[in-house]
Amino acid sequence: MVAFSLTDHPHRRLNPLTGEWVLVSPHRTRRPWQGQVEKLPPEIRPRYDPGCYLCPGNSRAGDLTNPPYEHTFVFDNDFAALMPQPMEGAVNQAGLLRAEPVQGLCRVLCFSPRHDLTLAEMALPDIRRVVDAWAQQTTELGALPFIGYVQVFENRGAMMGASNPHPHGQIWATEAIPNEPAKEMQQQAAYFTAHGRPLLLDYLDLELTAGERIVCANDHWVALTPFWAVWPFETILLPRRPVAALPALADAERDALADVLKRLTTRYDNLFEISFPYSMGWHQRPTDGKEYPGWMLHAHFYPPLLRSATVRKFMVGFEMLGEPQRDIPAEAAAARLRECSEVHYRD
């Protein structure tokens, strides 16, 4: 019988946050074709774009005009996916055809007035302002009586569906707890009941001891490639203390968060020397006033690129019909990111 190896043999890894499995096939990285490593032409954007609906002073939909903002800027999404109006009624036919009305609010957060920047290229004080805006919006929206969860996220790059290159993210406040944080809520609560400690705090202790999946860290935060990662260069960002939501972060933790965000996103950009696409978002405690034992704040980064700036990972076939699958082991992906400089390639 062959001795099992995480680096050589196909295996499944459990995501304890969701209870779902991912298939890992490290032997496939030895296939003859690995995909050509290509570089795209440099992305050159102006500091200010008169045609951008997110730049200061420019027009938006509905005859609205942006103020001449100098740092962050938040506004209600002009094409919101959720509406705050209360509605009545529901559909339930034999428990199979179900629908219910839902309330919510969607906002856009411009990270900077400059059209040509990303988090990786912003100054630390300006990233700290973004962190503060995330926390402030969570507090403000979470206090509304019809809001149960506040989802902060960023889609970066056209490959991840960003409709505008201006540095920005979104905040969707929903009446119900969405699927992904709901799964994580159940798993974290079950672990806390069984062990008396937060799942992610114990997981972080294991990762700090092992070290092989750590990407970068400081006194308050650790960025690592999770053992169960699905996307090729996926990372998770964890606080060193079990804080539950963004508003609960202390000043030193917010400064350290700005630092680790810049360092991580710079490594991403340096990997293939492009403005690296990703979807990232915060999972934080729901705002409905209920107890959520064991819940710990964390951020997920899901980048699609696989082998180069132009070769991406697709979730198709077995992934859609069976379960997620990856070729590059999490340990190898973390090593690739660790090897990248924290000085941005454009500098």
What digits encode the pLDDT tens for the residues 103-132? 999 999 999 999 999 999 999 999 999 999
DSSP calls for 2-28: PPP-TTTS-EEEEETTTTEEEEE-GGG
Q: What is the pLDDT of residue 85?
A: 86
Q: Catalytic: 168? A: yes
Q: Please give the pLDDT value at position 105.
A: 97
Contact predicate 254/206, CB 8 Å: no
Which of 66, 330, 296 has the alpha carbon at shortest distance from 187? 296
CA distances from 312 to 12, 142, 260, 303, 321 (A): 22, 36, 25, 9, 20
* Domain boundaries of the chain, sorted by first residue: 43-83+101-339
pLDDT at 194: 98
Both tokens of 268, joined, read: 């991403």
β-bridge pairing 149-156 and 278-283:
antiparallel
- The side-by-side arrangement of strands in the sheet containing 11-15 is 11-15, 20-24, 325-326
The CB density around residue 38, as the number of other CB atoms within 10 Å, is: 12
- With a cut of 50, which residues of the chain have pLDDT below it? 32-33
Taking the CB of residue 28, how many other CB atoms lie within 10 A of it? Answer: 12
Residue of 168, 283, 298, 300 marked catalytic: 168
CATH number corresponding to 43-83+101-339: 3.30.428.10
Give residue 38's pLDDT. Answer: 56
DSSP annotation of 40: P
User: What is residue 30's predicted lDDT score, i.e. its pLDDT?
Assistant: 63
Q: Is 256 exposed, middle or buried (0-12, 13-18, 19+ CB in 10 A)?
A: buried
Which residues, in sequence order, are CB contacts of 144 under 8 Å at separation 6+?
Answer: 105, 173
The secondary structure of 201-220 as a DSSP string is HHHHHHHHHH-TTEEEE-SS
